[in-house]
């Protein structure tokens, strides 16, 4: 009976430790020039070309950047730096923008 309580306690502690682990996110910052803008339902998508000749399709919405106080409407020709979650779809690079770092 005493061993059963110890094993149960050990299992509970292990479950808590595993449930509290932090998962690694794919959050990065990219910088480049805005080449195109496509309006969407809840925001827009900006095509951004980097100095490394990479192209990213940046999805920017009020919800994802944390509210209207952080939301900015980019224009073609702006030099921007954005932070967010990057993923690839076939041969395209995408980023869900969570922060607009700078706009020039």
Give residue-wise pLDDT tens across range 18-76.
Answer: 554 444 567 899 999 999 999 999 999 999 999 999 999 999 999 999 999 999 999 99
Provide the token pair at 53: 């000749």
Q: Is 14 helix (H, G, I), strand (E, B) or coil?
A: helix
Coil, strand or helix at 104? coil
Q: What is the mean pLDDT of residues 73-95?
A: 96
| Predicted TM-score (pTM) of this structure | 0.75
101 vs 23: CA distance, rounded Å? 24
82 or 6, greater pLDDT: 82
Phi first, then psi, for residue 76 (nearest 5°) are -60, 130
Shortest CA distance to 60 belongs to which of 76, 79, 39?
39
pLDDT higher than 60, residue 86: yes
pLDDT at 47: 98
Burial 62-72 (b: 16+ CB within 10 A, else e): eebbeeeeebe
């Amino acid at each position: 009976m005493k061993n059963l309580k110890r094993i149960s306690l050990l299992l509970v502690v292990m479950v808590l430790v595993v449930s509290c682990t932090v998962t690694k996110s794919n959050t990065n910052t990219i910088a480049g020039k805005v080449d195109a803008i496509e309006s969407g339902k809840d925001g827009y998508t900006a095509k951004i070309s980097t100095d490394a000749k990479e192209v990213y399709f940046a999805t920017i919405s009020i919800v994802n950047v944390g509210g209207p106080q952080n939301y900015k409407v980019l224009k073609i020709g702006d030099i921007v730096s954005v932070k967010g979650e990057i993923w690839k779809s076939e041969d395209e690079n995408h980023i869900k923008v969570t922060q607009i770092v700078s706009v020039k």
